[in-house]
Amino acid sequence: MKAVGATAGKLKLAISNDDVRSAVTSGAFPGGEAGSAAQKPALSVDGVSVIYKTARGSHTAVDNVSMKMEPGEFVSILGPSGCGKSTLLGVVAGLLPASGGNISVFGEAVSGPRKDIGVVFHQATLLPWLNVLDNILIPVRALRRKDRDYEKRAHELLELVGLTKFAKYFPNELSGGMQQRVGIARALIHDPSLLLMDEPFAALDAMTRERMSLELQDIWRASGKSVLFITHSIPEAVFLSSRVLIMSSSPGRFVKEVTIELPRPRTTDTMSTGEYAALCGGIRKMFDL
């Protein structure tokens, strides 16, 4: 069995038309048990499609996708390369326009970038001329708020991601994993309620990736944020998530949902349990791996 963080490679989907039909006719995937009827969903995606118009013509990247996430949930999306995961994350983040459908975050429609969303991409893209502390404060400055109101929080986040000693270091003095942790701290500085992560550990080696999964779990548990996490790694998705949503190949639609009920906190011992292996194996079979 591959360790958490080992690259699952290109996923080839082996889902029958019946699976697709049952998922589509069910309309939307409901949230987990964490939410109550009175609570507004952290994220609601309702019939969202994205059609790219290029010189080569129109391309439907995301086709009539619906899902819900309750506050505090950790939901992963797994799907073959090119199925539209990043596109969907882009429209949820308000960075790309949807061609149809509705998206709301905590009950408010998304029509552009929002203060209550933090985004982490697979490269930290830190500004090389700013030290770690100043990089973490970038969203504060973008929101035209005062640094001094956030410096204490920046130091708390540095502690959370294990970089207390590195506040004054510059990005080129950090390893890839450390840079990614700065990226996570930067995404959390303005205290967003929803964290969107697009393959945040993709550029890391397998061991660093495994450690980052453990750290992300700690951060999520300590902060109570809702996290939408895109990954190609089935073990990583199972390890971290409350639910895993599986997308079909292009154009992307959600075709399966797997609830992960492994007890928390999950540890490296969790990865050796039969239950964990069975969950990974079950999802792997859906992709014919």
Q: Among residues 112, 103, 161, 91, which one has the least CA distance to residue 132?
A: 161
Site residue total, ligand ATP (CB under 6 A): 13
15: its two tokens: 């889902």
Cα–chain center distance at 226 = 9
From the list 52, 106, 169, 170, which residue makes contact with ligand ATP (rule: CB under 6 A)?
52
Is 225 a binding residue for ligand ATP by CB under 6 A? The answer is: no
Helices marked H in 102-261 — which ranges? 132-136, 138-142, 151-160, 176-188, 206-223, 234-240
From the list 13, 45, 61, 196, which residue makes contact with ligand ATP (rule: CB under 6 A)?
61
Which of 82, 162 has the CB closer to Mg ion?
Answer: 82
Is 79 a binding residue for ligand ATP by CB under 6 A? The answer is: yes
Is 7 a binding residue for ligand ATP by CB under 6 A? The answer is: no
Is 81 a binding residue for ligand ATP by CB under 6 A? The answer is: yes
Crossing angle of helices 176-188 and 206-223, in 10° steps, is 20
Is 164 a binding residue for ligand ATP by CB under 6 A? The answer is: no
239: its two tokens: 């390890």
Burial bucket for residue 21 (CB in 10 Å: 0-12, 13-18, 19+):
exposed
Min. distance of Cβ 114 from ligand ATP in angstroms? 20
Which of 66, 135 has the CB closer to ligand ATP?
Answer: 66
Residues 66-95 that bind Mg ion (CB under 5 A): 86
Q: Which does 82 bind (CB under 5 to 8 A by kind): ligand ATP, Mg ion, none?
A: ligand ATP
